[in-house]
Amino acid sequence: MIRFLISAGALACAGAIAAGAFGAHGLQGRLSARGLELWETAARYLVYGGLGTILAGLAGLHGPGRVLPWAGLLLLTGAIVFSGTIFALALGGPRWLGAITPLGGILMIAGFLAFAWGAWKL
């Protein structure tokens, strides 16, 4: 699980950097200013979730327990849901996706809280 978290977090960060570059270079002139702003927000939060996932995996190397792997999974899932729905909205996806976006944010918050708890228990 630890290797998965570290690898998946790194892939999320790589995807976020690629998405950010694509937004800055490939979508400029194709999206409105608001669409580009949404795209940048999605890329930024995907990096946050990816880095949190990597850190939860690395912290899991220092002690047994289930809290840190769960924290990593919550962070990764939350980042994918949050950023994925915002990427879709920026590209003109259906507005109902906006109702799902906060669930990703809640998962990320829960992931960071679980990370704090797991780190405290180390």
> Mind listing the pLDDT tens digit for each residue in 71-122?
999 999 999 999 999 999 999 999 999 999 999 999 999 999 999 999 998 7
State the pLDDT confidence band at 63, using cuts at 50, 70 and 90: confident
- Reported pTM: 0.91
d(CA 40, CA 16): 9
Using the predicted structure, report yes or no on whether residue 5 has a pLDDT greater than 90: yes
State the pLDDT confidence band at 61, using cuts at 50, 70 and 90: confident
Q: Average pLDDT of 4-9?
A: 96
d(CA 25, CA 97): 25
DSSP label at residue 100: T
d(CA 7, CA 50): 9
